[in-house]
Amino acid sequence: MAAFPHPDGFPDRLVADALAAARTLPAPTPVWAVAGLQGSGKSTLAAQVAARARSEGLRVAVLSLDDLYLTRAQRQRLALDVHPLLATRGPPGTHDVVLGCQVLDALRRGEDVVLPRFDKLADDRVPEDACTQIAGRVDLVLFEGWCLKAPPEDDAALATPLNALEREDDADGRWRRYCNDALRRDYPALWSRIDALWFLQPPGFEVVRTWRWQQEQAMAARAPSRTGMDRAQLDRFIQHYERTSRHLLETLPAMAERVVALDAQRRPLTT
């Protein structure tokens, strides 16, 4: 899981509510999910819910959508075959949806399973022997990710570029059409494995730039010998996510089982 240290963690009452909601889902192994834009604290909330569940004697598996990124080699092949922007992880079309479905299905069946993990600083998937091994049935699966349940946009909405990346590097719209087609074609199978979804709603897209920079600094602090992104590189990176992020802000509140509105410091406005 791509953990990001939320400044204070989420309130105990919210964590308790999340676990209570998860425990009402169909047995034996429900999938409770939390979505949120970059840096919103979804990994933190999932970790807090997992810790509380374990303290109550439950066996829990935590899966991150980030850990389902295609390998660097797979994305480089897409960059050659489809569009150069697909070398960059994150947007729809750069996840191994089939792997995600296989992992969730194996957990549902109570089988032994290896949870994939992605190293963001290395920009590649971690070898299997360094991943978490789950033996036997768990009581609950927590699934977190930035674009869980994201619907595709109408094709007409793709015509106009919305940032410099799209204007300069995707002038013909081929990349954004590929990403949108992936959302329409591939991702519903993964979304169908989710039993309930909570959405951490930011005050707006612009705050993501601050939150994601804090996340980058936190990752660099944990591995000072490895080079992360500077601010300019990060601003460009975020533009890869902007279209889907803005669409999520418009659509996901009506789709989620619960919306947790956040202020600019990632604090819930209500608990």
- 127 C-beta neighbours (distance < 10 Å), count: 9
Instruction: Answer yes or no: are the C-beta atoms of 183 and 247 closer than 8 Å.
Output: no
- pLDDT at residue 216, rounded to an integer: 78
- The pLDDT score that the predictor gives to residue 3 is 40
User: Based on the number of CB atoms within 10 Å of its own CB, is 119 exposed (0-12), middle (13-18) or buried (19 or more)?
Assistant: middle
What pLDDT, on a 0 to 100 scale, did the predictor assign at position 201? 96
177/208 Cα distance (integer angstroms): 24
Question: How is the chain split into domains, by residue range?
Answer: 12-261
Question: What residues contact residue 81 under an 8 Å CB cut-off, 6+ apart?
Answer: none
Name all contacts of 208-211 with Cβ < 8 Å and 24+ positions apart: 208/37, 208/38, 208/39, 208/238, 208/241, 208/245, 209/234, 209/235, 209/238, 210/39, 210/264, 211/37, 211/38, 211/39, 211/40, 211/266
Of 32, 20, 11, 54, whose CA–CA distance to 195 is shortest?
32
Instruction: Please report which helix (H) or strand (E) contains residue 258, including its range.
Output: strand 258-261
Cα separation, 207 vs 163, whole angstroms: 16
Q: According to the model, what pLDDT value does residue 225 have?
A: 66
Q: pLDDT value at position 116?
A: 96
In the CATH scheme, what is the code of domain 12-261? Answer: 3.40.50.300
Q: Tell me how far CA of residue 87 lies from CA of 94, 146, 224, 233, in angstroms.
A: 8, 19, 25, 15
Angle between helices 207-222 and 231-251 (to 10 degrees): 130
pLDDT of amino acid 232: 87
| AA letter at 80 | L
Bridge-partner residues for 144, per DSSP?
Answer: 34, 64
Sites in the chain below the pLDDT cut of 70: 1-8, 220, 225-227, 271
